[in-house]
Amino acid sequence: MSAALERAVAADADAGRSLAHARQDEVQARARSAAARKRRRRAALLGGGAGAGLVAVALALGAAGAGSADPDDAAASPSPSPSVSSTPLAQGVGTIFAEELIASAKPRVRGLPVKGQAAVLCPAGLAPGTTTACTAVTVGESPLLVEDSTISSTDRFVADGHARVNAAILYSIAGSRPLAVSDVLSPGVVVSDPDAEGDGWFGGDRATSLWDGYITRIVVMPEEAWGGSLEPTAYLSSILSLDATAPDPGEPRDPVWAVANGGAGAEGTVVTSWVEVDSLSADPDATLLLEVSSPVRVDLPGLTADDVAASFTERSRDDADREGATRALMCDVDDAWRREVDELGWTVRSGCAAGWVDGTYIGANVNSEWITDGGAGWDVRNASGADLLMNSLTVMVERDAASLEPSESDTLGDGYGVAFATNAWTGPTTRSGAIATYGYPRGFAWEPMSAWWTELTDAQLAEIGDRGAVTAQMAMPFLGDDTRMLVLELPLPLEEDAGG
Partner 1 sequence: MGRWGRALDATMREHGEAIFAHARALAGDDESATALVEDALVDTFSRGHVPESPAAGSRAMMQTMRRAAVRATAPPVPPPPPDGRTDASSLAREALTALPRHERALVVLRYGEGLAVEAIAEETGLKERDVREGLSRAVALLLSAYPGIGVTVEDALEGGMLETASVEEAW
Contacts with partner 1 by CB under 8 A lie at 1-17, 19-21, 23-24, 27-28, 30-32, 34-36, 38-39, 42, 367, 369-370, 372, 377, 447, 449-451, 453
Least distance CB 386 / partner 1 (angstroms): 16
- Comparing CB distances to partner 1, the nearer of 16 and 111 is 16
Distance between CA atoms of residues 21 and 236, nearest Å: 36
- Comparing CB distances to partner 1, the nearer of 21 and 321 is 21
- Comparing CB distances to partner 1, the nearer of 11 and 459 is 11
Q: In 3-state terms, what secondary structure has residue 12?
A: helix
Beta bridge partners of 358: 325
Residue 51: which H helix or E strand, with range?
Answer: helix 3-51
Q: In 3-state terms, what secondary structure has residue 175?
A: coil
- Comparing CB distances to partner 1, the nearer of 32 and 467 is 32
Least distance CB 12 / partner 1 (angstroms): 4
Per residue, what are the HEC states of 335-403?
A: HHHHHHHHHHCEEEEEEEEEEEEECCCEEEEECCCCCCCCCEEEEEEECCCCCEEECEEEEEEECCCCC
- Comparing CB distances to partner 1, the nearer of 31 and 459 is 31
- Comparing CB distances to partner 1, the nearer of 72 and 369 is 369
Least distance CB 368 / partner 1 (angstroms): 11
Q: In 3-state terms, what secondary structure has residue 49?
A: helix
Query: DSSP letter string over 431-451?
Result: EEEEEE-TT-TT-EEE-TT-E
Bridge-based pairing state of the strands 117-123 and 131-139: antiparallel
- Comparing CB distances to partner 1, the nearer of 34 and 76 is 34
- Comparing CB distances to partner 1, the nearer of 43 and 404 is 43
Least distance CB 390 / partner 1 (angstroms): 14
Distance between CA atoms of residues 375 and 119, nearest Å: 54
Strand ranges inside 61-181, DSSP E? 106-107, 117-123, 131-139, 145-147, 153-159, 162-173
Distance between CA atoms of residues 443 and 131, nearest Å: 28
Distance between CA atoms of residues 79 and 201, nearest Å: 22
Least distance CB 47 / partner 1 (angstroms): 12
Whether 418 and 410 have beta carbons less than 8 Å apart is answered as yes
- Comparing CB distances to partner 1, the nearer of 356 and 452 is 452
Least distance CB 363 / partner 1 (angstroms): 15
Distance between CA atoms of residues 254 and 164, nearest Å: 12
Distance between CA atoms of residues 230 and 237, nearest Å: 12
Distance between CA atoms of residues 334 and 481, nearest Å: 11
Least distance CB 26 / partner 1 (angstroms): 9
Least distance CB 393 / partner 1 (angstroms): 13
Least distance CB 150 / partner 1 (angstroms): 8
Residue 18: which H helix or E strand, with range?
Answer: helix 3-51
Task: Tell which residue, 167, 170, 131, 389, has the closest CA to residue 270.
Answer: 167
Whether 92 and 122 have beta carbons less than 8 Å apart is answered as no
Distance between CA atoms of residues 45 and 41, nearest Å: 6
- Comparing CB distances to partner 1, the nearer of 350 and 367 is 367
Least distance CB 367 / partner 1 (angstroms): 8
Least distance CB 35 / partner 1 (angstroms): 4
- Comparing CB distances to partner 1, the nearer of 27 and 112 is 27
| 233 Ramachandran zone, left/alpha/beta (phi>0; psi -120 to 50) | left
Least distance CB 208 / partner 1 (angstroms): 34
- Comparing CB distances to partner 1, the nearer of 20 and 75 is 20
Distance between CA atoms of residues 459 and 134, nearest Å: 63
